[in-house]
């Protein structure tokens, strides 16, 4: 009788532990945030769910005054006889890059990205999956495909990892309503 009670308790504990482990594993695979990218192409919105986005903003000085340029002195004597201009040409004020990792992209999205010299506007919205509250909102203007990479694997779905890496250069970027131009 004692063995029967012990086996019943052991079976109940084992079942409880298995269910708890399954729930923990399932919740670990849940995404905390939902990240969606939308691109406008000819008035049509094309969306893609993405895994992550990285923002990089690069700025350059607009111009160097003639006075500042003449103050730059070499540490060693210049024997090359090459004369540099005293002023430098005006460069673009800066550019923004979005590095995006997506699980997959629709054929429509790929067609927009594949066009050479194609510029498009879009946004990326990061939403908390539990509360449905927008965590961060990115809007970009004059976006163009800068780089594209695709990684595929033959492993099973639960262990495999397929991803697409994109880098978009943007002429204008707004993060949570703050413009970075």
Query: Could you read off the pLDDT tens digit of each residue along the chain, which spans 181 residues?
Result: 666 665 566 555 566 556 655 555 445 456 688 999 999 988 899 999 998 898 888 776 654 444 454 555 555 566 666 555 555 445 455 688 899 998 889 999 999 999 988 899 999 999 998 899 999 999 999 999 989 988 877 765 655 567 889 999 888 899 999 988 6
Cβ(60)–Cβ(92) below 8 Å: yes
Residue 59's pLDDT is what?
Answer: 74
| pLDDT for residue 13 | 53
Residue 109 tokens read as: 């999205």
0.85 exceeded by pTM: no
pLDDT at 18: 62
Q: In whole angstroms, what is the distance from residue 173 CA to residue 179 CA?
A: 6
Distance (Å, rounded) from C-alpha 161 to C-alpha 50? 14
38-44: long-range contacts, CB 8 A cutoff, minimum separation 24: 38/122, 38/123, 38/124, 38/125, 39/109, 39/112, 39/120, 39/121, 39/122, 39/143, 40/120, 40/121, 40/122, 41/108, 41/112, 41/120
pLDDT of amino acid 116: 87
């Amino acid at each position: 009788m004692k063995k029967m009670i012990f086996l019943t308790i052991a079976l109940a504990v084992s079942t409880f532990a298995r269910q708890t482990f399954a729930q923990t594993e399932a919740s670990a695979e849940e995404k905390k945030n939902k990240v969606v990218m939308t691109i406008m192409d000819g008035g049509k919105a094309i969306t893609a769910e993405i895994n992550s986005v990285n923002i990089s903003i690069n700025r350059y000085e607009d111009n160097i005054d003639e006075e500042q340029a003449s103050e730059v002195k070499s540490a060693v004597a210049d024997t090359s006889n090459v004369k540099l201009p005293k002023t430098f040409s005006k460069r673009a004020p800066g550019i923004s890059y979005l590095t995006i990792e997506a699980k997959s992209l629709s054929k429509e999205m790929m067609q927009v990205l594949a066009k050479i010299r194609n510029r498009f506007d879009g946004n990326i919205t990061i939403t908390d999956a539990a509360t449905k509250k927008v965590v961060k909102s990115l809007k970009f203007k004059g976006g163009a495909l800068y780089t594209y990479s695709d990684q595929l694997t033959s492993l099973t779905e639960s262990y495999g990892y397929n991803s697409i890496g994109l880098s978009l250069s943007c002429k204008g970027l707004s993060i949570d309503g703050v413009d970075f131009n």
